[in-house]
Amino acid sequence: MTPIQAVSRLPKAELHLHIEGTFEPELMFQIAQRNHIAIPYQSVEEVRAAYQFHNLQSFLDIYYAGAAVLRHEQDFFDLTYAYLQKCREDNVVHSEIFFDPQTHTARGVAFDTVIGGIRRACDTARQEWGMSTALITCFLRHLSEEEAFATLAQALPFREHIIGVGLDSSEVGNPPSKFARVFAEARKHGFLTVAHAGEEGSPDYVHEALDLLHVSRIDHGVRAEEDEALMQRIIAEQMPLTVCPLSNLKLKVVDDLAQHNLHRLLQRGVLVTVNSDDPAYFGGYVNDNFTALQQTFALSTAEIAQLCKNSFQAAFLDNETRQKWC
């Protein structure tokens, strides 16, 4: 099996994926039209042309604006089902999906509407082709602790359908410590925890996510490499990093994919995984990320297989299911 064949043939899990970031322009136009919402673009081409980002914030501004056309349960179903079909094409057999309830509840869309549509799509994909999914509710870190507590309260009635809580949005200036109490409360209710850290923020943010939020995985974490003691800890504890190479390229975390540290991290024994983050905005789904890495670093079939295995190792799966895929 060649490395490129391995990319398409090997089953894999995706662990870092924002459902709002899978909103392809074609579907955005369709939903905007049926909901009678004006969007500031004339064509799909114009939307794609607007996807030029110089940092995380410049992306987030466009990403939140796009999500504003999602109003009804059917909209969240259509969005999620389209993503799950991409998973099927890419041989992603398990996906742990982030959603940002505050992006929607702030516009008067009920939590129930959001999770209802997402869950119905996940149930349909499970019935149709055995797709496995889990949901992670993210707190928007540019908003207050109080607002995160209110979101946690809204999530509690759906506790059995949500495996964990996460932390996303504008990193710099919004450290994990701001959410230590709400994460502690979430853990009391049995939620697992993850957090974006070390994407644009310094390694201190990764330390805080580990020590104050007690995360099971770090989302991104690429800047952890700047702190050797932290690296030693991540390797010793086999703390997973859910890395998103095309995202890092589009958001200028790296200027060139050849500068990306994923291959180096893998060679050092970090439990690193490959993910798409916001594929509709960053130019590709999971297999596109694998392919770009393979072409840049000449990854071997064994390295591709290790990355796929890592994705199950780092997933919130029971041991029996994990063994089945590893």
Cα–chain center distance at 261: 19
199 is an active site residue = yes
Residue 24: which residues within 8 A CB-CB, separation 6 or more?
Answer: 82, 280
DSSP letters along 250-271, please?
A: HTTSSSSGGG--HHHHHHTT--
Q: Where are the beta strands (DSSP E) in the chain?
A: 12-18, 92-99, 132-140, 164-168, 192-197, 217-220, 241-243, 272-274
Q: Is 199 one of the binding residues for ligand ADE (CB under 6 A)? A: yes
Nearest approach in angstroms of CB 242 to ligand ADE is 11
Nearer to ligand ADE, 2 or 144 (CB): 144
Nearer to ligand ADE, 133 or 169 (CB): 169
* C-alpha span between 19 and 2 (Å, rounded): 31
Piece in contact with Zn ion (CB under 5 A), picked from 28-36, 270-278, 284-292, 296-304:
270-278
Residue nearest ligand ADE (C-beta atom): 168
Nearer to ligand ADE, 3 or 201 (CB): 201
Residue 131, classed as helix, strand or coil, is coil
Q: Which of 20, 199, 208, 225 is catalytic?
A: 199
- Which amino acid belongs to residue 133? T
- Which amino acid belongs to residue 83? Y
Piece in contact with Zn ion (CB under 5 A), picked from 84-92, 132-140, 205-213, 272-280:
272-280
Nearest approach in angstroms of CB 168 to Zn ion is 6
Half-sphere exposure of 314 (CA within 13 A, CB side): 34
Contact 211, 176 (CB under 8 A): no
* C-alpha span between 148 and 141 (Å, rounded): 8
- Based on the number of CB atoms within 10 Å of its own CB, is 232 exposed (0-12), middle (13-18) or buried (19 or more)? exposed
* C-alpha span between 236 and 226 (Å, rounded): 17
Nearest approach in angstroms of CB 166 to Zn ion is 8
Q: Which of 208, 277, 288, 303 binds ligand ADE (CB under 6 A)?
A: 277
Q: Which of 24, 73, 75, 277 binds Zn ion (CB under 5 A)?
A: 277
Tell me the number of residues near ligand ADE by CB under 6 A: 10
* Interface characters, 69-108, with ligand ADE (x: CB under 6 A): ----------------------------------------
Q: Which of 274, 270, 272, 175 is nearest to 231 (CA)?
A: 270
Nearer to ligand ADE, 93 or 195 (CB): 195
* Interface characters, 28-57, with ligand ADE (x: CB under 6 A): ----------------------------x-
Q: Which of 169, 275, 276, 311 binds ligand ADE (CB under 6 A)?
A: 169
Q: Which of 3, 21, 116, 240 binds ligand ADE (CB under 6 A)?
A: 21
Q: Is 100 one of the binding residues for Zn ion (CB under 5 A)? A: no
| Residues of this chain that bind ligand ADE (CB under 6 A) | 18, 21, 56, 168-169, 196, 199, 247, 277-278
Catalogue the active-site residues: 199
